[in-house]
Structure 1
């Protein structure tokens, strides 16, 4: 995923000299190719994320196309006020990249674990929120963010779970849900985003062959009609995300379904608590009940009870 991000960024910058990369003293190895190919378009703003966002807003006003990179615990969480007032309020085409979303920076503790970023950003008016699951979705989201010329927060998990798609997604439209496994009408549907798309697909293939699986690379905007259709054709919907159950993808799907297509919905995500311990990425998924066995059990229990 990160290689696809870097490659797409280099391609966009070489085609458009107004594309700039601003980093908060992160991502050195990741940006080796960018610095080699486009050295004049690279700015290390240092560990001063609020200033960096303000700088990006000023550059956007003068015709540049800034990409602002940082860890998702800092971009966007540390700089929400600047994103809201400097960028979104004036509808400036700044693309904010939050790397290492969820529990990826596991050993660094709560300060570096980002499970509230989608909830924070989707509440800001005029700010789009993207959450790609694999390298194909990263490339498509990057291209769309550049083409649409609107403020965008792109959430990128550093953990690479492998591809869920097998082909280029250049024709994807913002807000679209992408089917990664076809199912039967009247069966269950799994809707996931980011790293948990792979988990949803593996569970469906192993235990629920009749289920459909959808990836949600766009948290905002969301194609409401598509969500309504999926919910109307499903006996139950399971939503999976490496994010708080408050305000993320599960909230988006539930909000739409409750008004237009009521259906039983299981929201699988991080409960309203911090991590109790530090450890590996896999350990934290298990602690929060997001490893595959725990998710499978949640789905089984939900279907039995309902």
Structure 2
């Protein structure tokens, strides 16, 4: 996914000299190709993320298309006020890239983990929010973001869990959930980011279930979700994000009043990570390992209480 991001970034900057990359003194290996191909469009703002957003806002007012890169724990969390006032209030076309979203920085503790970025940004007027599951969704999200003229945030997990799509998403509407398989049955999984790959493993373990992948949290076309949920016994949301305010909240808000089956949000509970370890270990600690999710869903489908 990070290679696809680098390729999309270089292609965008070569096609449009107004595209500028701002970084807070990190991401060097990731940006080797960009600095080689587009050195005049690269700005290292140093470890001063709030100031970096202000610089990006000024550049946008001058006609540039700045992209602000940082760890998701810092961009958008550390700079939330600047995103709100400097960018969203002004309606400026600044793109924010939050790398290492979720608990990917598993060895660095809560200070470098970001499980609340979607929830923090969703209420801000005018900002788009992207959460791609693989390189194909990321490329489509980058294209959609750069075609727009509004603030945008793209969250990117550092761990590459593999593709969920077999081919590029050319011509598909990514503001609508993407249906992976149409087997029907009682179970619908709605997932975003790394949660989509987890959902695929869960379906393989259960031998049933359809998946809706959601690469775009905002704007969001609700029609495919409402249609896919009809007649289901259980709709479950899987996301590497807090169960409060993220995709689970969006799905609940969308289905309220129309869906009458069981509903479950699977994500980070209201607590910080207690230990350090690998990414897979942290997912397990938070109940997001595929086998644990499958066991939980199997029980619900059999009629056990949530």
Q: Please give the TM-score of this superposition, normalised by the length of structure 2.
A: 0.97
Matches within 5 A, 1:203-222: 203-209=202-208, 211-222=209-220
Matches within 5 A, 1:21-170: 21-170=21-170
Which stretches of structure 1, 4 residues or longer, exceed 6 Å deviation after superposition?
Answer: none
Determine the structure 1 residue equivalent to 2:183: 183
Q: Distance in 2 between matches of 1:134 and 1:174?
A: 13
Q: Is the 8 A contact 2:25 2:45 kept in 1?
A: yes
Q: 1:288 to 1:233 in 2, by over 3 A?
A: same
Find 1:232's aligned residue among 230, 233, 236: 230
Q: Is the 8 A contact 1:131 1:154 kept in 2?
A: yes
Q: Distance in 2 between matches of 1:282 and 1:206?
A: 18
Q: Is the 8 A contact 1:183 1:213 kept in 2?
A: no
Q: Distance in 2 between matches of 1:281 and 1:79?
A: 25
1:174 Cα deviation from its structure 2 partner: 4.2
Q: Is the 8 A contact 2:175 2:221 kept in 1?
A: yes
Find 1:283's aligned residue among 281, 286, 295: 281
Find 1:293's aligned residue among 267, 291, 294: 291
Determine the structure 1 residue equivalent to 2:192: 193
Determine the structure 1 residue equivalent to 2:221: 223
Q: 1:63 to 1:191 in 2, by over 3 A?
A: same
**Structure 1: tracts of 5 or more residues without a match:** none
Q: Distance in 2 between matches of 1:277 and 1:125?
A: 36
Q: Deviations over 1:226-247 (max 9, x none)?
A: 2211222422111000000000
Q: Deviations over 1:72-92 (max 9, x none)?
A: 000000000000011111111
Range 238-247 or range 214-223, more displaced:
214-223
Determine the structure 2 residue equivalent to 1:243: 241
Q: Distance in 1 between matches of 2:48 and 2:12?
A: 26
The 3-state SS of whatever aligns with 2:78 is helix
Q: Is the 8 A contact 1:65 1:93 kept in 2?
A: yes
The 3-state SS of whatever aligns with 2:190 is strand
Q: Distance in 2 between matches of 1:48 and 1:263?
A: 48
Q: Is the 8 A contact 2:176 2:222 kept in 1?
A: no
The 3-state SS of whatever aligns with 2:79 is helix
Q: Distance in 2 between matches of 1:39 and 1:188?
A: 50
**Structure 2: tracts of 5 or more residues without a match:** none
1:257 Cα deviation from its structure 2 partner: 0.6
Determine the structure 1 residue equivalent to 2:251: 253
Q: Is the 8 A contact 1:54 1:82 kept in 2?
A: yes
Q: Is the 8 A contact 1:190 1:213 kept in 2?
A: yes
Determine the structure 1 residue equivalent to 2:173: 173
The 3-state SS of whatever aligns with 2:103 is coil
Determine the structure 2 residue equivalent to 1:16: 16
Q: Is the 8 A contact 1:104 1:113 kept in 2?
A: yes
1:153 Cα deviation from its structure 2 partner: 0.6
Q: Distance in 2 between matches of 1:283 and 1:244?
A: 17
Q: Which has the higher helix share?
A: 1
The 3-state SS of whatever aligns with 1:77 is coil
Across the aligned residues of Structure 1 and Structure 2, the Cα RMSD in angstroms comes to 1.2
Q: Distance in 2 between matches of 1:63 and 1:174?
A: 27
- The answer to whether residue 304 in structure 2 is matched with residue 305 in structure 1 is yes
1:261 Cα deviation from its structure 2 partner: 3.0
